[in-house]
Amino acid sequence: MHNAALTSCGLKMQSARFQIAPDELDRALRLLPALGFIGVNLTIPHKIPAVGLVDELDDFARKVGAINTVRVEGEKLVGSNTDGPGFSRAVRSDFSMDLRDLRVLLLGAGGGAGRAIAWQCALEGCERLALVNRTIEKAQQLATELKTALVDTRVSAPVARLEVIPWEERALRLQIANSDLVVNASSVGMRRSDPSPLSASLLAPHLMVYDTVYARGRTPLLAAAAEAGASGSDGHSMLLQQGALSFETWFDRDAPVDVMRKALL
């Protein structure tokens, strides 16, 4: 999708993929200025470790503690995170809803994508945010960080505005009844053999289900959502939007989103 964008904008550059092992990341990033790169996207497992390896972070990336975009400025590497705003744009395009109007239940809140989505929800003032993570301590740590951004000003409400939930059926059932949007930001669903992170019996027709996983066919979570009569969307729209925002970060110009969408699909 980035090559299509480069061609469409008449930029004589190329985008390519590189497989970099965790212990090579520092050296690989440091090679970027000398090799004439204008920037890179980073994906699993580099988003969190890269935060400590770049020279500067923008405000959002500093809050999130994970980066997916690096821009080369002279000899300097500047880290940013387009996963959060990309997710927000994806929800708007797929469900015609703004995060500020939604009660969100987020699975995988401890990873790089989950942290970015949680911060985006908080900064847009979502109605409610329930954080779920296999390693619950990471969700608890995130909730501590988000507390000031998501202050509960309501006099009384049936459920707290910001909550950490154990990944257990009973707790999830109660929370899902108080949610509009269920998001999977865990890596469950990436492998063909993965089960759905939530069973269809936990889902309900009133829900919007967003799976950040993108696959050729329907992801296990979206199959469960369809079985439950819920509406669902997979991670292609987020992939597109975060990629468009990265393009804008590197080139200081609007991305040709339609061209990128066509190439991606």
Region of 16-24, 43-51, 97-105, 221-229 interacting with ligand NAP (CB under 6 A): 43-51
Q: Taking CB under 6 A as the rule, which mask of x and - marks residues 157-196 in contact with ligand NAP?
A: ----------------------------xxxx-x------
Options 47, 63, 147, 262, the catalytic residue:
47
Instruction: Please state whether beta strands 231-234 and 208-211 pair in parallel, antiparallel, or not at all (unpaired).
Output: parallel
Phi, psi (deg, nearest 5) at residue 255: -85, 145
Cα separation, 139 vs 118, in Å, equals 10
According to DSSP, the residues that pair with 80 across neighbouring strands are: 69
Q: Taking CB under 6 A as the rule, does residue 108 contact ligand NAP?
A: yes
Cβ burial of 108 (10 Å; 0-12, 13-18, 19+) is buried
Residue in the shown chain whose Cβ atom is closest to ligand NAP: 111
47 is catalytic: yes
Stretch that binds ligand NAP, among 10-18, 52-60, 233-241, 244-252 (CB under 6 A): 233-241
Cβ burial 71-100 (10 Å sphere, 16+ → b, else e)? bbeeeebbbbbbbbbbbbbbbeebbeeebe
CB of 141 to ligand NAP, least distance (A): 10
Q: Which stretch binds ligand NAP (CB under 6 A): 22-30, 33-41, 128-136, 171-179?
A: 128-136
The region of 57-65, 129-137, 140-148, 246-254 touching ligand NAP under the rule CB under 6 A is 129-137
Binds ligand NAP (CB under 6 A): choice among 44, 151, 157, 174: 44
C-alpha pair distances (Å), 166 with each of 16, 103, 107: 39, 17, 10
List the one residue from 67, 83, 210, 245 that touches ligand NAP (CB under 6 A): 83
Detail the DSSP E strand segments found in 168-222. 181-184, 208-211
Q: Does 49 bind ligand NAP (CB under 6 A)?
A: no
Q: How far is CA 254 from CA 62, 94, 217, 242, 260, in A?
A: 24, 21, 30, 13, 12
Catalytic positions are 47
Residues in contact with ligand NAP by the rule CB under 6 A = 44-45, 47, 83, 108, 110-114, 133-135, 138, 185-188, 190, 212-214, 235, 238-239, 242
